[in-house]
Amino acid sequence: MIRFLVTKIALLIPTFVGVTLLTFAMIRLIPGDPILLLAGERGIDPDRYAELRTQYGFDKPLLIQYGNYIVDVLQGDLGRSIVTKKPVLTEFLTLFPATIELSLCAMIFAVLVGLPVGIIAGVRRGTIWDHSVMGVSLTGYSMPIFWWGLLLIILFSVNLGWTPVSGRISLLYYFDSVTGFMLIDSLLSGQEGAFRSAVSHLILPSIVLGTIPLAVIARMTRSSMLEVLNEDYVRTARAKGLPPVRVIGLHALRNALIPVVTVIGLQVGVLLAGAILTETIFSWPGIGKWLIESVHRRDYPALQGGILLVAIVVMLVNLSVDLLYGLINPRIRHRR
């Protein structure tokens, strides 16, 4: 098990180098100059322009810029945003809890709905249940997030008035952020109704962000279930006269879950990508919106730092999924 762990962690190093190199190079490949963009139509004096380039280190050769960047990163310094002039790490840390909160809720929604629906479709293969689950999930998978989000807002928030349009909590509630997670902070604040307000603000964005993972999980569970149900041991279990609930719930499901767990892990990356759009629609103060804005303004330090941190999070999640996978499936951790 330890050897398995060490190999997995060692593999992170080349990934880390790859991510820094890619983000650094790609941002600079997009045409656009952060200083000129900030100046806009007003323009900037050539001397002042040169001065600012020196200040940000853009006047040095790319290789040296990259070298300096890596040295700084290894010391934990991600630089300062060109736009706000604040440390990138500080900005990331103030925004990231909102993204985690939303992603977690979206994932819980996707799993809670996706798994049972997938199981039903698998067990009742070929029935109307199966067909409708597959049809609906295909629609969900192909739904453009932006359109889907606005549709839900107009229906539930504007016309029916059941849920708030956007934001994390009603503006009536005002308390200091302790953990950055609104669900926890609202409970800690002790203000009546704050928690309920936070939950109601989470409903629509979680559904929108969770729709694609839900579809993927449902389809994956179904096919995995179908495969397992044809295995010999399931037939044996049935032949032994075990009740169907036990056969499906214990023998089949446990094995069927293995590929599903991997898929759930992979969906974390999808969630973070989807968060960019979802956060913009629901005015959710997370990192997705922040990254998009950094791209528009060519805010190199913010973009490099932000993507690197997100990549690290995705890598860690995948690592834990690998480890979890090893726990569920002994064949993997004992493979020589």
Partner 1 sequence: MKRRLLGAAVISTLALGMAFSAEAKTLVYCSEGSPEGFNPQLFTAGTTFDASSVPVYDRLVEFVRGGTEIEPGLAESWEISDDGLTYTFHLRDGVKFHSTENFTPTRELNADDVIFSFERQWKEDHPYHDVSGGSYEYFASMGMPDLIKAIEKVDDHTVRFMLNAPNAPFLADMAMDFASIMSAEYAEAMMDAGTPEQVDLQPIGTGPFQLVAYQKDAVIRYRANPDYWQGKAAIDDLVFAITPDASVRYAKLRAGECHVMPYPNPADVEAMKDNPNLTVMEQEGLNVGYLAFNTEKEPFTDKRVRQALNMAINRDAIIEAVYQGAGTKAKNPIPPTMWSYNEDVEDYPYDPERAKQLLAEAGYADGFQTDLWAMPVQRPYNPNAERMAEMVQADWREVGVNAEIVTYEWGEYLERSVNGEHQTVLLGWTGDNGDPDNFLYVLLGCDAAQDGANRARWCHEPFDDLIVQARQISDQDKRAELYEEAQIIFKEEAPWVTVAHSVVFMPMRKEVTGYKVSPFGKHDFYGVDLQE
Binding site for partner 1 (CB under 8 A): 30-34, 36-45, 48, 52, 80, 83-86, 91, 94-95, 98, 150, 153-154, 157-158, 161-168, 170-172, 174, 177, 193, 196-197, 200, 280-286, 289-290, 293, 298
Please, which residue, 25 or 316, has the CB nearer to partner 1? 25
Please, which residue, 49 or 141, has the CB nearer to partner 1? 49
- Residue 83 DSSP symbol: T
Say which residues have a Cβ less than 8 Å from residue 185's Cβ, sequence separation at least 6: 175, 177, 178, 179, 198
Distance (Å, whole) CA 242 – CA 236: 9
- Residue 230 DSSP symbol: T
Q: Shortest Cβ distance from residue 306 to partner 1 (Å)? A: 13
Instruction: Count CB atoms within 10 A of the CB of residue 21.
Output: 12
Q: Shortest Cβ distance from residue 6 to partner 1 (Å)? A: 39
Distance (Å, whole) CA 187 – CA 67: 45
Please, which residue, 32 or 249, has the CB nearer to partner 1? 32
Q: Is-contact 198 169, C-beta < 8 A?
A: yes
Instruction: Count CB atoms within 10 A of the CB of residue 221.
Output: 27
Q: Shortest Cβ distance from residue 25 to partner 1 (Å)? A: 17
Q: Is-contact 23 308, C-beta < 8 A?
A: yes
Q: Shortest Cβ distance from residue 198 to partner 1 (Å)? A: 12
Q: Shortest Cβ distance from residue 204 to partner 1 (Å)? A: 11
Which tokens sit at 66? 């990259």
Which tokens sit at 217? 């999980």
Q: Shortest Cβ distance from residue 2 to partner 1 (Å)? A: 42
Please, which residue, 145 or 256, has the CB nearer to partner 1? 145
Q: Shortest Cβ distance from residue 126 to partner 1 (Å)? A: 31
Q: Quickly tell me which residue has 């840390």 as its tokens.
A: 93
| Closest of 210, 212, 222 to residue 109, by C-alpha | 210
Please, which residue, 279 or 322, has the CB nearer to partner 1? 279
Please, which residue, 14 or 161, has the CB nearer to partner 1? 161
Please, which residue, 1 or 26, has the CB nearer to partner 1? 26
Distance (Å, whole) CA 231 – CA 181: 44
